[in-house]
Amino acid sequence: MSTGVLTLDTDTAILEAHRAGDTERAATAFVRRHQKFVYSVALRNLHHHEENAKDATQEVLIRALRGLESFKGESTLQTWLYRITVNVCNNMRRKQRLLSFFSVGDDDHERDVVAADSISPADAVAQQDFLRYLDTILDTLPRKQRETFCLRYFDELSYEEISEMVGTSVGALKANYHWAVKKIAEHVRTSDFYAAWMESTS
């Protein structure tokens, strides 16, 4: 047995362990390896609602583990998970729209998206709500630019992997990423909130 299988630090090792019947250990390694990525994608697709994103992450990982046996390896595990996550999030949003149409459930599901400049720097710094500020910046970007930027910058995927996930050419992804970085940097440079936050954390 190879070291990789023993430590389960690669997708191949996890899949091998799972197929060999070591499902418990494979599941644990699988969840630890991919949970952050799934949560990150879910958070973006669910209007940054953290509790919903956690529920979606749990649902995605369970579905993936139950379907791991049938995973054919035609794409990477991460691409497969990305597609499951987007589907689960779409279903959740559809369900919430339906429930809100019939006024069932909590009305506070959707987190308020406040314009970045409308947040008082003092208040926001006091609340340590920098991530909320970041979300509002990302919300100003077109969807493709935002998704490309997040997958590349936060999830640290290669252009080739992103291309496989979202079905866009590498050239187009590079252009989207370039424009996204430019806009975000511009926003950050001119933001009083960002300056105050940097000052408070330095």
Partner 1 sequence: MKTTHHGHQHDDDDEGELRLQLGPLRDLHHQHTESAVVNMSVRVHAALQQPRRPLLRGLTVSIALGLATVITIVVVLNPGTSNPEGQRVIVSTTTDTSSSNTAKQDVRVQSTPKMRATASAAQSNSPAVRPRNMTNSQVVLLRDSEMLRAVNEANEDALVDRILEQETEDDFAILDLTSADVDAVLP
Q: Name the residues that contact partner 1, by CB under 8 A.
A: 27-28, 31-32, 35-36, 39-40, 43, 50, 53-54, 57-58, 61-62, 65, 78, 130-131, 134, 153-158, 181, 184-185, 188, 194, 198, 201
| Close Cβ partners of 111 (under 8 Å, ≥ 6 residues apart) | 47, 48, 49
Q: CB count, 10 Å around CB of 144?
A: 16
Integer CA distances (angstroms), 129 to 45, 57, 150, 179, 193, in order: 20, 22, 19, 25, 10
Q: What is the dihedral of CA 105, 92, 37, 130, to 10 degrees?
A: -40
Q: Which is nearer to partner 1, 107 or 131 (CB)?
A: 131
In the complex, least distance from residue 138 CB atom to partner 1, rounded to whole angstroms: 10
Integer Cα distance of 11 and 145 in angstroms: 28
Q: Which is nearer to partner 1, 107 or 197 (CB)?
A: 197
Q: Which is nearer to partner 1, 50 or 192 (CB)?
A: 50
In the complex, least distance from residue 19 CB atom to partner 1, rounded to whole angstroms: 17
Q: Which is nearer to partner 1, 78 or 96 (CB)?
A: 78
Q: Which is nearer to partner 1, 96 or 135 (CB)?
A: 135
In the complex, least distance from residue 12 CB atom to partner 1, rounded to whole angstroms: 13
Rg, Å, the chain Cα set: 19
In the complex, least distance from residue 89 CB atom to partner 1, rounded to whole angstroms: 15
In the complex, least distance from residue 46 CB atom to partner 1, rounded to whole angstroms: 12
| Close Cβ partners of 39 (under 8 Å, ≥ 6 residues apart) | 53, 54, 57
In the complex, least distance from residue 201 CB atom to partner 1, rounded to whole angstroms: 8
Q: Which is nearer to partner 1, 54 or 83 (CB)?
A: 54
